[in-house]
Structure 1
Amino acid sequence: MWDGDEETGTLLSTLAAAKPGGRLLEIGTGVGVSTAWILQGMSDDAELVSVDLDEKAQAVARKYLGNDERVTFYTMDGEKFILENQDKSFDFIFADSWPGKFYVLDETLKLLKPGGL
């Protein structure tokens, strides 16, 4: 496991583990470093949706993590995903990109289930 920011990774794994069987959302897949940490903490029956606009970066994550049936990758703008999925809800949201963190923050928080992280 990449240890460039082990404290953040450990936190992500711990938070994911706190939602067994949960539905998790990651905005900003990148090359999948945080995705891997989240998957490490997830239970076998949890699911992760990971969104990124950068197809080349996300291809790295797909290559190394795409065989894990718990993760579904969407290559699209995070803001568009958030706005188009207001009927969905998640137990955990990790916004590691401008959308969800700075843009459409209120809409992102509406996706969070009560008691979600």
Structure 2
Amino acid sequence: MKYVAMLYGNQAKWDSFPAEAWPEAIAKQDAFNTRYRESGELLGAFGLADAAAAQLVRREDGVPAVTDGPYLKTEEYIASFYLLDCESLERAQQIAADMPFADVEPVELWPVLHESAKDG
């Protein structure tokens, strides 16, 4: 079963993180990514830009209509997301709890209920 694990944040939170702590935090995240990619359980890990860079795209009269985003106005936004492929919910929970920031920030875990067919 596939799961999406998401971490939330905002620019103020990232700015408050001590600059000298970033190299260790990045190293821990890289080790996490490597460990679970090698196990085959991490299909992808993606860090997103600040919410100020988000855009909303609609179609009006057949052409894209683009405005500044994000869609939801919240204090925090999705900062990164991970696509997991696990044998069980319990295993997905274990991996989410093993994320380097899980001791200070919750990880939101969603089951993926549908996947589009792959090309033959």
Same fold? TM cut 0.5? no
Larger Rg computed on CA atoms: 2
Pick the structure with more strand per residue: 2
